[in-house]
Structure 1
Amino acid sequence: MNDFQPYSYTDSVTADRPWLASLVGVQDTNTITLDLSKFVAGTHYTVSANPMLQGRNVMRSGIPLGKVTASGLYAPYAGPTSEIQTVTVTGTPTGGTYTLTFSGQTTAGIPYNATAAQVKTALEALSNINAGDVLVSGGPHPGTAIVVAFAGQYLGDDQAQMTASAAGLTGGTTPAVTVTTTTAGGGAAPADGTDILAGFLVSEISFNPGSTKAAGALLWHGEIFAEQCPVPFDPTDVGATAPGVNIHYR
Structure 2
Amino acid sequence: MNDFQPYSYTDSVTADRPWLASLVGVQDTNTITLDLTKFTEGTHYVKSANPALQGRNVMKSGIPLGKVTASGLYAPYSGPRSEVQTVTITGGPTGGTYTLTFSGQTTAAIPYNATATQVKTALEALSNINPGDVAVSGGPHPGTAIVVTFGGQYLGEDVTQMTATGSLTGGTSPAVAVTTTTAGGGASASDGTEVLHGFLVSEISFNPGSTKAAGALLWYGEIYAEDCPIPFDPTDVASTAPGVNFHYRTR
- Provide the TM-score with structure 2 as the length reference: 0.88
**Residue 87 (structure 2) pairs with residue 87 (structure 1):** yes
The 5 Å alignment of 1:12-91 reads 12-15=11-14, 16-23=16-23, 26-53=26-53, 55-91=55-91
Amino acid across the alignment from 2:223: I
Q: Quick one: percent identity of the two aligned structures?
A: 81
Looking at structure 2, the residues matched to 25 and 243 of structure 1 have their Cα atoms a distance apart, in angstroms, of 16
Q: Which residue of 2 aligns with 1:190?
A: 189
Q: Which residue of 2 aligns with 1:205?
A: 204
Amino acid across the alignment from 1:56: R
| Cα displacement (A) at 1:23 | 4.6
Looking at structure 2, the residues matched to 211 and 114 of structure 1 have their Cα atoms a distance apart, in angstroms, of 38
Looking at structure 2, the residues matched to 63 and 179 of structure 1 have their Cα atoms a distance apart, in angstroms, of 31
Amino acid across the alignment from 1:81: R
Q: Which residue of 2 aligns with 1:237?
A: 236
Q: Contact 1:13–1:24 at 8 Å: present in 2 too?
A: no
**Residue 147 (structure 2) pairs with residue 147 (structure 1):** yes
Looking at structure 1, the residues matched to 184 and 160 of structure 2 have their Cα atoms a distance apart, in angstroms, of 10
- C-alpha distance 170-2 of structure 1, shift in aligned 2 (>3 A): closer
Looking at structure 2, the residues matched to 142 and 101 of structure 1 have their Cα atoms a distance apart, in angstroms, of 19
Please give the per-residue CA displacement for 1:113-134, whole angstroms capped at 9, x wherever unaligned: 3232222222222111122222
Looking at structure 2, the residues matched to 249 and 52 of structure 1 have their Cα atoms a distance apart, in angstroms, of 35
- C-alpha distance 212-139 of structure 1, shift in aligned 2 (>3 A): closer
- What is the count of residue pairs matched by the alignment? 248
| Cα displacement (A) at 1:235 | 1.1
Q: Contact 1:66–1:196 at 8 Å: present in 2 too?
A: yes
Q: Contact 1:8–1:217 at 8 Å: present in 2 too?
A: no
Q: Contact 2:96–2:111 at 8 Å: present in 1 too?
A: yes
Looking at structure 2, the residues matched to 51 and 173 of structure 1 have their Cα atoms a distance apart, in angstroms, of 52
Q: Which residue of 1 aligns with 2:103?
A: 103
Q: Which residue of 2 aligns with 1:249?
A: 248
Could you say which structure has the larger radius of gyration? 1
Q: Contact 1:27–1:222 at 8 Å: present in 2 too?
A: no
- C-alpha distance 93-12 of structure 1, shift in aligned 2 (>3 A): closer
Question: Which moves more between the two structures, 45-54 or 213-222?
Answer: 45-54
Q: Contact 2:95–2:170 at 8 Å: present in 1 too?
A: yes
| Cα displacement (A) at 1:76 | 0.9
| Cα displacement (A) at 1:169 | 2.8
- Provide the TM-score with structure 1 as the length reference: 0.88
| Cα displacement (A) at 1:11 | 6.2
| Cα displacement (A) at 1:49 | 4.7
Structure 2: runs of 5+ lacking an equivalent: none
Helix, strand or coil at the partner of 1:70 = coil
Amino acid across the alignment from 1:191: S
Please give the per-residue CA displacement for 1:31-59, whole angstroms capped at 9, x wherever unaligned: 21111111222222222253423533222
Helix, strand or coil at the partner of 1:147 = strand
- C-alpha distance 132-13 of structure 1, shift in aligned 2 (>3 A): closer
| Cα displacement (A) at 1:27 | 4.5
Helix, strand or coil at the partner of 2:31 = strand
